[in-house]
A and B are shown apart, each in its own frame.
Chain A
């Protein structure tokens, strides 16, 4: 048996080569799976910027009563704080109304009626907490389980463990859309990097402007036929080199060129939404080609159908230091309908049962006001939604304290969330490790427990 260690790090060609690794990666390193999975793939609707849990998923009437009063020091003393450093900490009541939805009676902000309409399929976690209070490190923790740059993102880990179910598309795809109203925080490419894992496991960003995949377009004037002939000729020459050198790395090169050509052929079909019925476009609220969150949700379903393992949609602009009321309303317009449509669409196609859908960002926002009408970054308590893929629908898990400050009931750490995600995919987070700097690196660092209560 070969250990992973043998493969990682720079493998000199001609030694064991990457071909053997490629074969293993195509299947995934976790074979057989550690246990029976309940999900085959993940669609992560990443709400970047830090959505206010207090205006979306975590209603706090007591905070409304305290509105305008100083935040009790017992909550905030000795805690981390971002832009409110050195400023008075004043309670800021929930700015939007909440309503109970569905049979389960789950409580969501009333501006999210569509998501409310599928609330019986949603598991709302109200007790998430994190460690990093600024965007960039918080994204890095949420995506890689570590605050150091260079660790693999969760999508890369999943692909490493399970391999892909497509040979025509990358197994890990990233989409991005921009919203209105907030501060558009930057998002580094590190967030979908494969880090210390082989770079073929990195997320491939599908763009709404320009070529959907970088360099997918043939040079002007060449034409598909001559591209095919060229790749054919390159393949023959590489094959001839293989005959004399017997270097398996050359075979890998040949197959990568074939895969590249298949991607060139299949990506246009993937992006072409003209085959989608008008009713579907309407349900999502998607206008093909506009690069909106709605279009990306629809694209996510199409990617899922084609066997992509991990699909991550970033929707930016949840950073509401000011105008949280008006800005969450804008976000609701952008995400409520498409999120619900995606869940309905997956369900109707029988795919929700083996697709884990995740909705959430890098942190939440303070119960204290910033600048009179906004909220600062907050890591002690925030909310997430999980759905499908073996997660119990219609339940709310955990709770923050009465002011929505800290997760006090059944707190769920980022590592717990990662452990749970891997669990539904059939992976024991303790056992999927890779040697790095002398340690058995894993997505969950040195902690993390599966949140068993939310499993169906």
Chain B
């Protein structure tokens, strides 16, 4: 209503005639079209008001709804002005027209009831002459008697430009350089520098990723990680290289269909695959295929057409000329995408079609490593022993694992309890050597376990990780969703002789490539063996073969150290057993049972069972299992076993380093049916062929149209919507709101743009420049309209629709993080790569399952990456991003809200990421502030964050806070030390702790200022 008042009052002030698109359509769309619009099924009284011929046609009684030029004879005027029971809209509609609205409709009828086609569907018309953003906007302002604001000061300008174009505020030196740059083209050079930076691509990508609902997880059910980030990097590269938007469009919708498609183009086609998918067991395939198809229609129509075609899934659109048939015809374009309703989230078929992104060199190297594995495997098989021999050795007890009953167990921080004869807590079973960790749970840890094997001769050492429901996540480690043992070390007492291992193998059938057993004896603390078993019932068991057999006496002790020094936090085993084997027992353990204590084990039950069958009766898996056991246990094979394990470890590590990405793979299209009311079980409606919405034209294609045909139409000059939708969204980035505010709907329920001519001018420029995205952005930020000051208000135009000044905006969620990291000096700038995990509160993922999840925040420089690179967990997005209105990207999102909540305050005040930023900010302040007083430091920090010096009042407030904090920390050194411990980043050695903590109090306050997260 306000919008209406604004438009109409501005219009009336200027004594302009009423215009249908500007004045009438918004009213009618909201109040009339539901019953008298395009949707046949809900039309009342057989009357439609959205088409003139229909609206002026007299009914059976000779009454015409609209008699152009004659309001008194027009039936709709009588009805809307009625104060009786027949008033329109009816009371039941809960819609009322204001007096001003009624009057406008009457004036419009009096002026001849001139209809216009809906503005967004009309061809793009470049305004005549030398039109520019500024000339058009100023003409409009002048008509309304408004003056444009003056240009913002240079400090404000560079901060505005930097935040809008790159999301990173300028450093004070940059500010000074710009303020003092007297060259006429100083501003333009700044724009060019910022647009040319990788930061620009990162900022722009953030918005695009919302639109195409890019995330790192599947979104339904277990919400497991999907291989998607290379698509994000494709978007980054494309923007950085300023790839024309038409090609960008083609590659995403149909990269796989392009002739000789490159890996990059195929990666782009992940656009069709990064939607929410379900791996829930009870999924009805048809239902979910319908959901996936509908998602693609909604997303594609919103992103490229700025249209809410999703409404037509169940019925003809109520306000725009889209029909249900249009919806399904659009869906039919995507019917060739190879996919299943239930999308497996693990195992070899996980996630469906993927592309391996090995470069040719990597592929060659990998093939070489694979060949080495095959050769080692073949060499090993040559010496394969016989089943009879195996059984004989097993009967002799050579192939046994004997659980050891530790005599001592300790850890750096944790408490280790040995359960030998004692019962396992919560069960009636004896521990039989179980070591249980409890108490403190540091991020890295080493367990030292001493065993007393007695007299004997040993060939192998075994480490078993015991799964337990009491452990978080997958139940193997104390605080992460995976177990990691970076190194196993052992020495013999007395004497201290270190045991040397020839090779390592793991009984886990399916291990992650980065958890190869050899990692436990490679001397590299960053890599480890482990497992993330998920419903596969296998016990993670590591077998280490000794280089030479070890003879023990009655009093021999073996001290074993299990180290967890990997970057995965708290991936330390929760429960372990140590075992020894006198011979070459296989590294496969029988599953743990809740009813039977673990007992020393010979051949695994699965092997024994397979051996009972004849060779012909055995399944392929059983035959392979027996072959593996024969190879591993054969005495003469030991060199070959070690060679194979070493080759496999190399292959695994290399393969792990090569990314994969979801891609679109085309197959024979399934027939697409119209589903009455969206009901996937209804198969009675007709099959439709791929087609663009009927009222927008027809594709000039022979035969079945493809996704590529759709893409080509989307970026053709015949389609006026793509450029308008894109331009409108770009405008929002630079003004906080679109030229038409409803970004996702340019249709009749959207908003008529007051500056429709600016939208058309930019749309024409965008297309005529060859869909040049950077040209468009530069055009906008070079305008004087963009450069205006943001201060002031206007009573005549409170929402600033006419743009007589700039707007102020809070920066987006990711940028809130980026500002804190960059200002504090913590930011790690690295363009692209796998997503990263910032610190996150413990237990935040507790409501997830399949599998249960815990969280391990990224270590090292990657902890301090831009918000854009945060691992996007759709069902539980990082809470600091949620607080600042980031989109979960479960659905295509065009318009984030910009709320202002107490939870935001709590994030900025207390989230360890921000607290750590304030610490490192304080460290830099101490080092770099030329003067060493509290006041000088506060001033330095203020200027670093905001690009301006504080005024006396501001400086006074900060100096006072510094003094208060200093007094407190002077008398509370423990408190200061605790404050300074936050986060992983190195501290400042030699600093006075109280001064640093007091400075940190000040920097923390600065990072919490409204101005810090606002661009003016």
Contact = CB atoms under 8 A, between A and B. Distances in A.
A229 B1001 CA distance: 10
A383 to B, nearest CB: 21
A22 B902 CA distance: 12
B1001 A226 contact: yes
Given A136-B220, A200-B900, A234-B1008, A14 B790 contact: yes
B849 A186 contact: yes
A219 B907 CA distance: 11
Contacts of A134: 220-221, 278, 280, 282-283
B510 interface: no
Interface stretch (B382-390, B650-658, B689-697, B958-966): B958-966
B247 interface: no
Contact of A80 (B1, B284, B876, B1005): B284
B280 A207 contact: no
Contact of A377 (B282, B876, B906, B964): B282
A188 B906 contact: no
Q: What secondary structure prevails in chain A residues at the interface with B?
A: loop
Given A11-B898, A16-B798, A240 B953 contact: yes
Nearest to A233: B961
Contact of A14 (B221, B793, B902, B907): B793
B841 A211 contact: yes
Interface in B301-333: 308, 310-311, 318-320
Contact residues on A (Cβ < 8 Å of other chain), bracket:
35 or more
Nearest to B1007: A234
A201 to B, nearest CB: 9
A165 to B, nearest CB: 16
B1005 A233 contact: yes
B799 A14 contact: no
Interface stretch (A56-64, A280-288, A431-439): A431-439
A133 interface: yes
Interface in B930-961: 951, 953-954, 957-958, 960-961
Interface stretch (A36-44, A254-262, A292-300, A347-355): A254-262
A277 interface: no
Interface string A204-226: 10010111011111111111011
A1 B1 contact: yes
A246 interface: yes
Given A185-B849, A241-B1010, A439-B311, A6 B1005 contact: no
B981 A220 contact: yes
Contact of B906 (A22, A85, A196, A263): A263
B625 to A, nearest CB: 28
A83 B1010 CA distance: 52
A178 to B, nearest CB: 8
A257 B905 contact: yes
A190 B888 contact: yes
Interface extent on B, as a size class? 35 or more
A15 B790 CA distance: 10
B310 A437 contact: yes
Interface string B789-804: 0110100001110000
- Name the residue in B311, B748, B847, B910 with the highest tally of chain A Cβ atoms < 10 Å from its Cβ: B847
A83 B282 contact: yes
Given A15-B798, A18-B899, A215-B907, A220 B278 contact: no
A249 B3 contact: no
Contact of B905 (A198, A221, A260, A316): A260
A199 to B, nearest CB: 4
A31 interface: no
Given A199-B897, A238-B1009, A249-B808, A210 B798 contact: no
B282 A150 contact: no
Contacts of A416: none
A75 to B, nearest CB: 16
B365 interface: no
Nearest to A2: B2
B849 A184 contact: yes
B735 interface: yes
Greatest chain A CB density within 10 A among B798, B905, B910 is at: B905
Contact of B977 (A221, A314, A377): A221
Interface stretch (B46-54, B349-357, B517-525, B739-747): B739-747
B681 A437 contact: no
Contacts of B310: 148, 437
A434 to B, nearest CB: 12
Contact of B968 (A81, A226, A249, A433): A226
Nearest to A247: B808
Interface in A89-144: 133-137
Contacts of A187: 847
A238 B1010 CA distance: 6
Nearest to A83: B282
A10 B736 contact: yes
Contacts of B903: 200, 204, 214-215, 260
A227 interface: yes
Contact of A376 (B282, B877, B960, B1008): B282
B810 interface: yes
B1 A219 contact: no
Given A12-B807, A188-B223, A260-B906, A136 B1005 contact: no
A3 interface: yes
A6 B460 CA distance: 73
Given A221-B978, A237-B954, A186 B222 contact: yes
A193 interface: yes
Contacts of A314: 847
Nearest to B220: A136
B910 A216 contact: yes
B832 interface: no
B911 interface: yes
Given A437-B749, A438-B319, A263 B902 contact: yes
Nearest to A184: B849
Nearest to B951: A240
A246 B843 CA distance: 41
Interface of A: 1-3, 5-6, 8-16, 18, 22, 78, 80-83, 85, 133-137, 148-150, 170, 176, 183-190, 193, 196, 198-200, 202, 204, 207, 209-211, 213-223, 225-227, 229-231, 233-234, 236-238, 240-241, 245-247, 249-250, 252-254, 256-257, 259-260, 263-264, 314, 316, 376-377, 430-431, 433, 435, 437-439
26 contacts: A2-B2, A3-B1, A5-B3, A6-B3, A8-B897, A10-B897, A12-B807, A13-B736, A13-B808, A13-B809, A136-B220, A149-B219, A149-B890, A149-B891, A186-B849, A198-B899, A207-B841, A207-B843, A217-B910, A219-B910, A225-B968, A230-B1001, A237-B954, A245-B1016, A254-B1010, A438-B748
Given A230-B909, A260-B909, A437-B308, 11 more contacts: A3-B2, A184-B852, A188-B223, A200-B899, A214-B906, A217-B910, A222-B979, A226-B965, A237-B954, A437-B311, A437-B749
